[in-house]
Amino acid sequence: MTVPTPCCATVDGTCPELVLDRFAMRYGRHPAVAAIDLAIPPCAITAIVGPSGCGKSSLLAGLNRLDELVPGAVVTGSVRWRGRDVRARDQDVPTLRRSLALIAQRPVPFPLSIANNLALPLRDHGCPRTEVAARSERALRQVGLWEEVRHRLGQSATTLSGGQQQRLCLARALALGPEVLLLDEPCSALDPVAAGVIEDLIVSLRGFYTVVLVTHDLAQARRVADHVAILWPTPHGGRLVVSGGPDQLDGHTCGDPAISAYLRAQRVAGATTSASAVLDA
Amino acid sequence: MPEHRLIHWRWRSTLANATVFALTAVVVAILAWLVIDLLRSAWPRLSWNLLTEDPRRAGRAGGLAPILVATAGVLTVCLAVVVPLGLATAIALAEARGRWANMVRASLDVLAGAPSIVVGLFGLLIFGDALGLGYSLASGGLTLAMMVLPVVVRLGEAALRAVPAELPATAAALGLSRTSCWLRLIIPTALPGLLAALALGVGRALAETAALLFTAGASERMPESLADPGRVLAVHIYELAMNVAGGEASAAASAVVLLAILTASQALGLAAIARSRRSRPS
């Protein structure tokens, strides 16, 4: 099994970039995402923010073709990664999904031991048996879980706390050597302390991986992201209304009072309930 | 809450508890009555020889050795068909959507409810006559498989569908192959339900009479191969109770043996379920 090198470590500096070109998605007749053009910069954290139902998670699933598991999901336009359409006929889907790893909103540990949660995907992707333990340990250290679980690797992963399970899921993906991490509201099912740990972890990945973080929390996006894209629900599906650095969002009205009100409300909410604030307290 | 309403609520709660307890006691009492009555009738015939000797005087004396061998033979053929075919069909149906899958499900439901005498007649025509198996353990086992398969498939499908959808989705998100996902995650997770389905199927197979009268035959002789006819326990009980004068004690003794085998098979099933639950995180 060849392990992709984290993008910023490539010698020639040609970091892969994800480019969405008129990307749209619908479920049957119900539109989820309107035609979106977006370039996701490499080795940076890009947050996709928006209210519920704006198509954030659908967009994320469309990036590594997980939408294909949903009956009736139809994607148009293209997603180019490393200059190739991810939906090209000769694209190897398991390899694509290993390289563009998606971590779900709710942690889903496999009903196996902690060790086997990491070992199963590694072995399935052809990792030699002699390397499995070392790669698992490296990934667990990367997410700061090694010291907590090193003496109970044989125990069921479901005995871990919610925050630990989410870090295990992240480690499971990292062990496979992905280049892009697709994080679908990874903190939303966690308590503020566990959410703070995951947030710090995401920040620590900056520069090593291209991270696409879906969140409904604009304050979180401001704290961790280098780039923010805001999706807004419309009858034609989620539409991209703002895209740029977090600072560029201030005072943005988009010509739509509803969006301005949303941005204002998020600013107020973020000032009072940020995970960092809770941690500091 | 006012005190009179609280007292009323407590009375209703006590009454509900008492009703549930009484109904449970009735069910247990019926089972106990059945077992005690059977044991009382069977007592003169119960001995170790019952399991090792051949039947004599049309089953009034002697043992059940060839009957037990025939029962084991029919059950083996039945399970050899049901386990692989049932699991494969359950997996296919758990994955399948659309009209064809629904038609298969509806067909299985109809087959599961088909009277065993009808299935027996079909088995006689297809396995006995058309395939030339005649009255044999193989013919009986295949007919029994037809009866058990729909139950095992539908319960197996339900067990597989009960696995949280996030599990295969997460496996797919990591690029795991479908084979790995099924073999390492979904089937082990659903194993208790699959084993329960199989245990129920075995129970039904052991208790079946009508279909086997037509297909496995009623010969008391020791079968030497699956091509030989044989009399299974349920058929033996029927013959002794209905066609052999003075065979009531032997019928009761055979029923005790059948109940013991059924209980043992269910206990084994439960033990396997508990074991699979314990050993999952490994």
Give the contacts of B230 (CB within 8 A, at least 6 positions apart): B66, B67, B69, B70, B73, B74, B136, B137, B140, B216, B217, B219, B221, B223
In a domain, A74, yes or no: yes
pLDDT digits (tens, 9 = 90+) for B165-194: 889 999 999 989 888 899 999 998 898 889
Supply the pLDDT for residue A166.
87
First to last CA, chain B: 52
Chain B nearest C-alpha distance from A110 (Å): 7
Chain B nearest C-alpha distance from A143 (Å): 17
In a domain, A235, yes or no: yes
Q: What angle do CA A91, A55, A267 make, to 5 degrees?
A: 130
Q: Which of A104, A125, A155 sits opposite B166 (nearest CB)?
A: A104
Interface contact B282-A110, CB threshold 8 A: no
Q: Which of B180, B184, B282 sits opposite A113 (nearest CB)?
A: B282
In a domain, A192, yes or no: yes
> Which chain B residues are within 8 Å of A125, Cβ to Cβ?
175
In a domain, A163, yes or no: no
> Is residue B175 less than 8 Å (CB to CB) from chain A?
yes
Q: Which of A66, A113, A124 sits opposite B173 (nearest CB)?
A: A66
Chain A nearest C-alpha distance from B64 (Å): 46
ipTM score assigned to the predicted complex: 0.81
Q: Are A29 and A195 in contact (CB under 8 A)?
A: no
3-state secondary structure of B62: strand
In a domain, A131, yes or no: no
Residues 243-282 of B with CB under 8 A from A: 280-282
As a whole number, mean pLDDT of residues B115-136 equals 90
Q: Which CATH number do you get for residue A59?
A: 3.40.50.300
Residue of A nearest to B280 (CA): A112
Residue of B nearest to A64 (CA): B173
Query: Which tokens belong to A94?
Result: 């398991």
Q: Are B220 and B60 in contact (CB under 8 A)?
A: no
Interface test with A, best of B95, B174, B277 (most A CBs within 10 A): B174
Interface contact A111-B189, CB threshold 8 A: yes
In this prediction, residue A213 has a pLDDT band, given cuts at 50, 70 and 90, of very high
Edge-to-edge order in the sheet of strand A73-81? A30-40, A18-27, A73-81, A84-85
Interface contact B173-A104, CB threshold 8 A: yes
> Is residue B170 less than 8 Å (CB to CB) from chain A?
yes
Supply the pLDDT for residue B278.
66
Interface contact B170-A104, CB threshold 8 A: yes
Give the contacts of A270 (CB within 8 A, at least 6 positions apart): A217, A218, A219, A220, A222
Q: What are phi and psi of A16, to 5 degrees?
A: -70, 145
Distance CA A21, CA A241 (A): 15
Query: Which tokens belong to B44?
Result: 């003169």
In total, how many domains does chain A have? 1
The tally of CA atoms less than 13 A away on the side-chain side of residue A47 is 25
Interface contact B174-A176, CB threshold 8 A: yes
Q: At what angle do helices B248-279 and B187-207 cross, to 10 degrees?
A: 180
Residue of B nearest to A177 (CA): B174
Chain A nearest C-alpha distance from B152 (Å): 24
| One CATH from 1.20.120.160, 1.10.3720.10, 3.40.190.10, 2.40.50.100 for B49-279 | 1.10.3720.10
In this prediction, residue A267 has a pLDDT band, given cuts at 50, 70 and 90, of low
Residue B58 per-residue DSSP state: G
Q: What angle do CA B235, B236, B240 make, to 5 degrees?
A: 115
Least confident segment among A71-85, A255-269, B76-90: A255-269
Interface contact B281-A156, CB threshold 8 A: yes
Greater confidence, A4 or B70?
B70
In this prediction, residue B153 has a pLDDT band, given cuts at 50, 70 and 90, of very high
pLDDT digits (tens, 9 = 90+) for B203-215: 888 888 888 888 9
